[in-house]
Amino acid sequence: MKALIGISLISASLLGCASDAMKVETDQTYEVEWIGERPLIDYSHLTITLGSDGRAYGSAGCNHWFAAYKLDGDKISFEQAGSTRKMCAPALMEQETRFLQSLPSITRWDFSPTDQLRLWPKEGKPLRLWPVTD
């Protein structure tokens, strides 16, 4: 009986730790690795920071972007993003456009088995991101 209680307590505490660790952090910057089925262009840096004030922002590769967002459990949504208007190489601009156009279609988030943040659109493959560490 004591062994069963001990196993139950250990299981409950492990489940509690896992659910606490698996949440999207606000005021944390995440770096985009993939947009849907395509990886980023080498040496381009796209980022998302989810501000605690309901505003998201970051680098779209060429320009800075910003949008309002809502986070509710595993649901997340972004309004249409705005950005600065600098011009870059055509391939970088195409990637930036795909990224910015993907944001309003995102409906939920989760973490992969390797703890990569995934932002899922209504249809298709997710944006995949890693937390930026100092």
pLDDT, tens digit, 9 for 90 and up, residues 19-28: 345 788 899 9
Each residue of 82-118: pLDDT tens digit? 999 999 999 999 999 999 999 999 999 999 999 999 9
Look at residue 17 and tell me whether its pLDDT is greater than 60.
no
pLDDT (0 to 100) of residue 13: 37
Each residue of 63-77: pLDDT tens digit? 999 999 999 999 999
Would you kindly state where each structural domain of the chain is located, as residue ranges? 23-131
Residue 106 three-state SS: strand
**What's the whole-number average pLDDT of the chain?**
87
> In angstroms, rounded to a whole number, what is the distance separating the alpha carbons of residues 133 and 110?
19
> In angstroms, rounded to a whole number, what is the distance separating the alpha carbons of residues 30 and 34?
12
Strand partners, 31: 47, 130
Tokens representing residue 99 in the block: 């990224």
> In angstroms, rounded to a whole number, what is the distance separating the alpha carbons of residues 60 and 96?
5
pLDDT (0 to 100) of residue 12: 38
Look at residue 11 and tell me whether its pLDDT is greater than 90.
no
Answer for the pair 51, 67: CB distance below 8 angstroms, yes or no: no
- The CA angle 41-31-42, to the nearest 5 degrees, is 15
Architecture of domain 23-131: Beta Barrel (2.40)
The percent of residues in the chain predicted with pLDDT above 70, rounded, is: 84
CA nearest neighbour of 44 among 56, 57, 35:
35
Look at residue 4 and tell me whether its pLDDT is greater than 90.
no
